[in-house]
């Protein structure tokens, strides 16, 4: 029938931030594809349900994505919007990251308890309590502020801000700047942490859209919003993490920069207490030869990201930068630091399971 629009079902977590992100993607797609209607299908993930344990103590890498991916595999939704940092570097073969949307701030931000309004971390007392659910943030900041106490804080952004303001337990909490800005809470940002203070998480600040591999209709729908610069940086960062076999269970951090001719990736591995670290940088120059044109790749992806409308050689160069940096670190003491961090995390997972079993008795 004339005027009938194609309906696309979009999967999303139920949190306010997740829905803001999902609707941002939908709004951009509507600007480009006026003949499509988008229906949001929201759902709760395992990570949303387990709020009494640190992420690193739960022992799974797909806490915020698995339920959404199952709906995608079953065909209940056509694509799913994620914070890319939540997506594991390895996903099932039947799914791909169909596009990476233009990145917002990749940095971490400090939100102060109201009693510390106007202060920065350097202004806090030496025994201050900082809330974070991230081993990466805690490890880096413990090195800089060894007398601070870092405590787990879980929940969506609304919940964490409420805990900060009302519980009187935390002097400050550390959150991603991008999430705070998307929620319209810029006025709560007391300090933005530079990479010299706290390098960020792999793909932090980037949104990604996951769809079924081989779903050419959806891939074509997403292609116009696949941001080249963001995708290349995230390919490098995810390749680094994938080669290290890291995740939220180990303190791994990055900082990437991109020019027309080069990609540079700085990456670090920290011990959980922050006392040990190895940091290095790799810079790769993009080939100039016109022979390096996009070719058919039989579905090849880069840490699950499709190259789409991006020249294949650029993706290959970005991926090589991440892998080279990881391999450099793995022949140093970083390998032992990683192994020990994984051992400590595995023990913490077992201890947490036993704690919950005892509570259930």
> C-alpha distances in angstroms, 311 versus 13, 229, 318?
32, 12, 11
What lies within 8 Å, CB to CB, of 335 at 6+ separation is 329
Cβ–Cβ under 8 Å, residues 125 and 115: no
- What is the phi/psi pair of residue 96, to 5°? -140, 160
Catalytic residue among 86, 108, 171, 215: 86
Give the distance, in angstroms, between the CA of residue 161 and the centroid of all CA atoms in the same chain. 20
> C-alpha distances in angstroms, 172 versus 150, 187, 252, 296?
10, 15, 22, 50
Cβ–Cβ under 8 Å, residues 39 and 67: no
Percentages helix, strand, coil for the chain, rounded to the nearest 5?
40, 20, 40
Both tokens of residue 89?
Answer: 């570097």
Cβ–Cβ under 8 Å, residues 210 and 27: no
- Concatenated DSSP letters of 32-82: H-TTEEEEEEEE--HHHH--SS-GGGT--S-TTTHHHHHHHHHTS-SEEEE
Query: What whole-number distance in Å separates Cα of residue 85 and Cα of residue 203?
Result: 5
Instruction: Give me the count of residues in the chain.
Output: 361
- What is the phi/psi pair of residue 315, to 5°? -65, -40
Closest CA to 305 of 250, 242, 217: 242
At 183, is the secondary structure helix, strand, or coil? coil
Query: What whole-number distance in Å separates Cα of residue 231 and Cα of residue 315?
Result: 8
Query: What whole-number distance in Å separates Cα of residue 89 and Cα of residue 85?
Result: 9
Query: Is position 86 annotated as part of the catalytic site?
Result: yes
What are the residue numbers of the active site?
Answer: 86
């Amino acid at each position: 029938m004339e005027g009938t629009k194609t309906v696309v079902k979009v999967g999303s977590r139920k949190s306010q931030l997740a829905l803001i992100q999902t609707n941002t993607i939908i709004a951009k797609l509507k600007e480009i594809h006026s003949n499509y209607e988008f229906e949001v299908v929201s759902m709760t993930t395992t990570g949303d349900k387990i709020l009494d344990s640190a992420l690193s103590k739960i022992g799974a890498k797909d806490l915020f994505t698995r339920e959404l991916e199952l709906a995608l595999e079953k065909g209940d939704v056509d694509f799913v919007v994620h914070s890319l940092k939540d997506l594991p570097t390895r996903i099932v073969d039947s799914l791909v990251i169909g596009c990476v949307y233009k990145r917002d701030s990749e940095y971490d931000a400090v939100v102060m308890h109201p009693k510390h309004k106007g202060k920065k971390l350097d202004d806090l007392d030496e025994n201050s309590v900082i809330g974070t659910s991230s081993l990466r943030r805690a490890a880096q900041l413990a090195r800089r502020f060894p007398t601070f106490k870092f405590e787990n804080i879980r929940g969506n952004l609304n919940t964490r801000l409420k805990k900060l303001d009302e519980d009187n337990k935390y002097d400050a909490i550390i959150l991603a700047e991008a999430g705070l800005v998307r929620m319209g809470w810029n006025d709560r940002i007391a300090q933005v942490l530079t990479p010299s203070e706290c390098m960020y998480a792999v793909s932090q600040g980037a949104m990604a859209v996951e769809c079924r591999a081989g779903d050419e209709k959806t891939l074509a729908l997403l292609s116009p919003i696949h941001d080249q610069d963001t995708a290349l940086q995230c390919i490098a960062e995810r390749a680094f993490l994938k080669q290290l076999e890291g995740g939220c269970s180990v303190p791994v951090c990055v900082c990437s920069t991109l020019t027309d001719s080069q990609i540079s990736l700085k990456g670090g591995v920290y011990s959980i207490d922050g006392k040990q670290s190895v940091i290095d940088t790799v810079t790769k120059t993009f080939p100039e030869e016109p022979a390096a044109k996009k070719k058919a790749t039989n579905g090849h992806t880069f840490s699950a990201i499709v190259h789409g409308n991006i020249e294949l050689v650029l993706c290959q160069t970005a991926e090589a930068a991440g892998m080279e940096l990881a391999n450099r670190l793995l022949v140093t003491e970083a390998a032992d630091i990683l192994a020990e961090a994984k051992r400590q995390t595995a023990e913490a997972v077992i201890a947490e399971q036993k704690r919950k079993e005892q509570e259930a008795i």
